[in-house]
Amino acid sequence: MGIKGLMKFLQEAAPKAVREVDGQQAYTGRVVAIDASMCLYQFLIMIRENRSGSYNNLTNEEGQVTSHIIGMLTRTIKLMESGIKPVYVFDGKPPELKLNELDARRQKRDEASANLQAAVEAGDSEQILKSTKATVRVTREQNEETKRLLRLMGVPVVEAPSEAEATCAALCRDGKVYAAATEDADCLTFGTKILIRNLMAAESQKKQILEVSLERALQQLNISMDQFIDFCILSGCDYCDTLKGVGPSTAIKLLVQHGSLEKVLEVLGPEKVPQNFRYQAAREFFKECEAVDTSKVDFKFEDPDCEGLTKFLVEECSFSKERVDRYLERLRNSKSRAKQRPLDSFFGAPKIEIKEGDKFDPTKKRSAAKAAAKAGSGKRKAPGAAGGAPKRARA
């Protein structure tokens, strides 16, 4: 889930922190940490066939799912053709704080499985597709297969000790990568300097790539990082229960009005605070940002193992040899693009000034805040880009 409603709130309340990006080419020459677990989940949901009317994942000759393989292979090649140097970060052991959230997700999958069975019996194709997607989970085997694929491609793989987005944030915070790419907005709560959204979205989804600056968000919201963490916890996160009826807009007002999360809870009273609202533990978890030791990280982008890739994709994944040869040619050609310098090394990074009048005022009426956000969130192009409105990203 990440942080409930955070991206929409930032676009409205801190529009100067959110930048629309022309496309993947804006990150030419950049090293980007990507939440691999989130990507695999998306591939397993989106990449399906419908010849049988059951919307099943793609499989090899033995019936083993390969949607995650084709998804990761093609999207990674596309990133590299755009000059991006991807580093994939995989989830480790889930934190104890998240176990309740994971149990809730399992219950939803069980409900979806029951709905799927009923939809199949009723021949309801629309409900079959909806329920099928809701039953998706990424297995350990699929994670390991994807790591193997990426290593054969010469792409760095990082195994996080806990949440992938926390390690992505730490890598960005400590200057090991330019940005963290994930759909989980709590990567900002973990402290990533720059968050990229929709970088891995398929072209058919027509999703705008968005770049969020944590520094500008804090400046425009006029709060500290500690306050931002408490704000995110109040808004709703994965690591403690949520407060009913409290979203980002209410959370920021309560924090500004009462000064601290503790005071907010005192004012709300025990009847409005769930028993499992372990905000202190969630706060420490965000601050600790359990991640790999970034001082020991040294990413190496190797040449692809073409023979190993061919054997893996043809013999184990049942890809055609001709198709694999085309992928390998694109992969080899993409290596030269990754050596190019970032655009803003020529043109300079965009300078965005946040004036006193730009700062968010939670006492303003919501309609006025929306109007101000709309006026200040004109499309901004990537460094050095020219021409009209930003183009949609291709994936």
Asked if 110 and 25 sit in the same domain, the reply is yes
Query: Residue 394: its pLDDT value, please?
Result: 37
If you ran DSSP here, which 8-state letter would residue 163 be given? Answer: -
The parent domain of residue 236 ranges over: 223-290
Laid out side by side, the sheet with 209-213 consists of 18-21, 209-213, 194-197, 179-181, 31-35, 85-90, 157-159
Asked if 214 and 227 sit in the same domain, the reply is no
pLDDT in tens, 149-191: 999 999 999 999 999 999 999 999 999 999 999 999 999 999 9
| CATH number, residue 228 | 1.10.150.20
| Cα separation, 389 vs 120, whole angstroms | 45
319 occurs within a structural domain: no
187 occurs within a structural domain: yes
Q: Report the first-to-last Cα separation within the chain, whole angstroms.
A: 23
Query: Residue 392: its pLDDT value, please?
Result: 38
> Regarding predicted confidence, which is higher, 278 or 113?
278
By CB atoms closer than 10 A (0-12, 13-18, 19+), residue 299 is: middle
365 occurs within a structural domain: no
Asked if 243 and 178 sit in the same domain, the reply is no
pLDDT in tens, 33-46: 999 988 998 888 87
Asked if 213 and 250 sit in the same domain, the reply is no
229 occurs within a structural domain: yes
Asked if 216 and 69 sit in the same domain, the reply is yes
CA 54, 58, 60, 61 dihedral sign is positive
> Regarding predicted confidence, which is higher, 118 or 331?
331
Asked if 131 and 269 sit in the same domain, the reply is no
pLDDT in tens, 66-85: 999 999 999 999 999 999 99
133 occurs within a structural domain: yes
**pTM given for the model:** 0.82
Q: Is the pLDDT of residue 383 over 70?
A: no
Given 222, 246, 267, the domain boundary residue is 222
Given 222, 254, 281, the domain boundary residue is 222
- Tally the domains of the chain: 2
